[in-house]
Amino acid sequence: MIIVANYHVREGEQGNFISLELMGDIEMVQSQNTGRFYATSRRCFVSSTFDEITAKRMVGKEMPGNIVRKQCEPYEYTMPETGEVIMLAHTWDYQPEGVANIPDTSKELAVA
């Protein structure tokens, strides 16, 4: 299960649109630096056709599905807590329940 955690008004080429912020269940992850565990949650953003009033009503709604890891071109990410810049080669996508896995496009990205 995932939950609609928030919404954001974004600016696109054709004007403003609403993006929904989705969050998965709590997960315990072990730090590679300290070995200690910390709580986190996967999250992703999906575009919507909602107006802001409708998007506001969606916050807190649960939906079946998962947030899954998807390979992508490497990019730099700045850790908000420390300012450390790291390289990542994945993103997170929403996958509805009962839908086959999102195709892995990492091979296509490497060829392009």
Q: For residues 44 and 95, what is the distance between their CA atoms, to the nearest angstrom?
A: 11
Per-residue pLDDT at 97 exceeds 60: yes
Q: For residues 17 and 32, what is the distance between their CA atoms, to the nearest angstrom?
A: 38
pLDDT tens for residues 48-93? 999 999 999 999 999 999 999 999 999 999 988 888 899 999 999 9
What are the strands, taking DSSP E only, across the chain? Answer: 2-12, 15-30, 37-48, 62-63, 66-78, 85-95
